[in-house]
Amino acid sequence: MANRISRRLVLNAGLALALLAVTAGWLVTKTIANSKTNGPEDPTLNVVLKNRRAIQPRLNRLPAVSVFQQAVQTEPAVEQAQKNIKVLTGLPESQLLPVMNFISTSLGVKCDHCHVNKNNNWDFPSDEKPEKQTAREMIKMVQSINKTTFRANITVGCYTCHRGHTSPMGIPQLPVPEPTPRVENATPGAAAKEALPTIDQILAKYAGALGGSVAIDKLKSRSMKGTWLTSNGITLGYKVCQSAPDKIYTVLNTPHQGAFESGFNGAIGWEKSARGVRDLKGEQLAYLRRYPDLFKDIKLKEQFARMDVARRDQIDGRDVYVVRASTADNWREQLFFDAQTGLLVRRISYLPTMVGVIPEEIDFEDYRDVDGMKLPFTIRISAIDPFFSSTRKFTEIKLNVPVDDSKFNKPPAPTATPPKP
């Protein structure tokens, strides 16, 4: 039964493909092609959902949060789109799959732990499995704990107790280890008193390390060439071309399915693959438009309503300053700056959902000089699901090279290719 959710998933696959700039979407098509032969652990779902979910947490990291908010406000709540929603009412529809993935990851199970799959057909609305009912009780419990004890903050989630297991450990195992005594500072408050730089100092040092405000202001376009390494070890050719303020063209070259291109010319978003050319509309376009921002990792201050320096820490043996940032809508992030070089080395974003907070981490490595600026040549994305995680390694980055604007336009549909029988 090609039911509604399967169609949605296929639709999401299309969406993922559209987001070549952010996702190895080709995997989706590949697995969909294979999925007919697969059982309850249908990778189609996982892959699609993984992509889908991984896209979500990024949203709060981007300057155009308001665009996302609009998308959320205008999209239907999940109960309007699905058949049997009793406790997740009011959840934005686009968060259903991220939430289901988060629940699965929290318990260390796959979808079929709670959902019925008969002869390769998913019946997600069915309440046949008792685990689904238990999960409903748990969702209600989490909602109530957060509301009553944590002043409506998403403090407790499925992962808080489950930590990747179906039955959380509630009783200490014997023998219990001797508790380590609390180390008191010789001079109380010494650590706290260690002077941290101010947020303005950190941001100014970052701007300087990148090449200075003149170089940043001069930045008009960027083209990058390199590879996209998926977590299962497949390397794809990858090219991105961006032009201020928001034009983008990307192409991922896959070994067996040819090129996946996508673009946005300031007005029209599109994608092109062996299957043809199509427009990106609504939610999909809103997603695509979030990535073109040339300045996403460069102009940070503009993206947040609040930023403060939380502490000094270490990443790979190097001292870093940790900055906590949040938008006016309370989307949160942590930013890590190398204490010595001043460069941004990590961003972790947090997507708050009804059942817990979904993290995503981006690491910036291998900074090199490019046309008067310093830019990372390796960008690593780690999502809670390793399948989505990927590494982009650039071999060439060029700034301010004149770009032919027609590149960003939707290409004409291929006319003479008859569909394969």
- In the complex, the residues that contact ligand HEC under the rule CB under 6 A are 5, 45, 49, 82-88, 100-101, 103-104, 107, 109, 111, 113-115, 124-125, 131-132, 134-136, 138-139, 142, 156, 158, 160-162, 166-168, 170, 355
Comparing CB distances to ligand HEC, the nearer of 135 and 362 is 135
Residue placing its CB nearer to ligand HEC in the complex, 32 or 343: 32
| Closest CB 238 distance from ligand HEC, rounded Å | 27
C-beta closer to ligand HEC: residue 112 or 371:
112
Q: Distance (Å, rounded) from C-alpha 102 to C-alpha 50?
A: 10
Least distance (Å) from ligand HEC to the CB of residue 28? Answer: 14
For ligand HEC, the closer CB: 84 or 120: 84
* Contact in structure between 290 and 302 (CB atoms under 8 Å): no
Cβ at position 81, least distance to ligand HEC in Å: 8
Q: Rounded to a whole number, what is the distance in angstroms from the first to the last CA of the chain?
A: 23
**Please, what is the minimum distance in Å from the beta carbon of residue 336 to ligand HEC?**
29
Closest approach, Cβ 46 to ligand HEC, in A, equals: 7
Q: How far is the CB of 202 from ligand HEC (least distance, A)?
A: 36
Residues 122 and 3 sit within 8 Å (Cβ to Cβ): yes
Label the pairing between strands 247-254 and 235-243: antiparallel
Kindly report the number of other CB atoms within 10 A of residue 168's CB atom: 12
Backbone angles phi, psi at 294, to 5 degrees: -65, -25
**CB-nearer residue toward ligand HEC: 69 or 160:** 160
Residue with tokens 């299962």: 232
- Angle of helix 4-18 relative to helix 43-58, nearest 10 degrees? 50
Residue 102 Cβ, how far from ligand HEC at the closest point, in Å?
8
Residue 158 or 370 with smaller CB distance to ligand HEC: 158
Q: Do residues 91 and 78 lie in contact, with contact meaning Cβ atoms separated by under 8 Å?
A: yes
Nearer to ligand HEC, 49 or 373 (CB): 49
Identity of the residue, 163 or 368, whose beta carbon is nearer to ligand HEC in the bound complex:
163
Beta carbon of residue 44, minimum distance to ligand HEC (angstroms, whole number): 10
Residue 98: CB minimum distance to ligand HEC, A: 9
Listed residue (41, 5, 11, 10) closest to 387, CA to CA: 41
Q: How far apart are CA 367 and CA 344, in angstroms?
A: 10
> 219 near 399, Cβ under 8 Å?
yes
Nearest to 357 by CA among 163, 166, 165, 154: 154
Side chain identity, residue 350: Y
Alpha-carbon distance of 61 to 43, in angstroms, equals 28
Q: How far is the CB of 160 from ligand HEC (least distance, A)?
A: 5
The 8-class DSSP code of residue 95 comes to: G
CB hemisphere CA count around 226 (13 angstroms): 19
What is the identity of the amino acid at 223?
S
**Quick one: DSSP state of residue 212?**
H
SS3 251: strand
With respect to ligand HEC, which residue has the nearer C-beta, 95 or 273? 95
Q: Whole-number minimum distance, CB 247 to ligand HEC, in Å?
A: 35
Helix count (H) and strand count (E) of the chain?
12, 15
Q: Quick one: 65 or 138, whose CB is closer to ligand HEC?
A: 138
d(CA 389, CA 174): 37
**Nearest to ligand HEC of 51, 82 (CB atom):** 82
Contact predicate 362/345, CB 8 Å: no
